[in-house]
Structure 1
Amino acid sequence: MDIIIHYAFLPHTDADAALAFYRDTLGFEVRKDVGYEDMRWITVGPPNQPNTSIVLHPPAADPTITDDERRTILELIAKGNFAAVTLATDDLDALFERLQAGDAEVVQEPTDQDYGVRDCAFRDPAGNLLRINQLT
């Protein structure tokens, strides 16, 4: 039995900015772009991994969430403390340069960590933390 990671979910606060970042800057392909009322869910993923995707979703879309809870979630997203994902690449320095040229918010430049990983970190347009590891 094989188990794969099929979907990971990250909130977005601006669908067009999220789409531009994940499609144009990271180079992910758009797999779905679905709207409902004033909300939008965008599914993206690496072109060579059709079974692994990130769903960029409107934060706190659940109608059972209170206005206070929705405000708290939006505050956590803005601070970069709500969601994170770790990506990996075979050329960390080249991807770092591409993200930096695309005006992504740099959190950490490529660094050799004490625990044996070389990585860097950015925030996407919503504030979600993206760590990127160098594949060995």
Structure 2
Amino acid sequence: MEENTIRQTDEIEIDLWEICLVLIHNLALIISVGIMVALGTFLFTQLLVTPSYESTTKIYILNKQENASVTYSDIQLGTQLTKDYAELIQSRFVLEEVVQGMGLDLTYEQMKEKVSVTTPTETRILAITVKDSDPVM
């Protein structure tokens, strides 16, 4: 018994004019949905999202004696000191001194969450960043 296989191809004809007419017919709906999404996004960001501000300062670390020229060992020592200083900046003693010196109403843990220290690889630069929801802080 032989089976005849019939190939059937489905062809769909797309008429661009019909698509344009459907879009024009639903233009009011398209515009109103766009405005509602924009308004919803605006209200969400204004009412529910807390803004976050950050400030960064960079410090160049160099171990140099007074009236002396910079040597290669000074540069190497400066690179090693950046890691030590990064740890010291985030230490309890330093952060508590900052809180007291600035008269802030924060604990050490709260201040530590706001402060981050980064050292780009093989440089003598420390980047200290403080993030807060209050732009004055």
TMscore range, shorter length: under 0.3
Structure with higher RCO (Cα < 8 A, 6+ apart): 2
Q: Which has the higher helix share?
A: 2
Under a length normalisation based on structure 1, what TM-score does the superposition of the two structures give?
0.27
Q: Which has the higher strand share?
A: 1
Greater gyration radius: 2
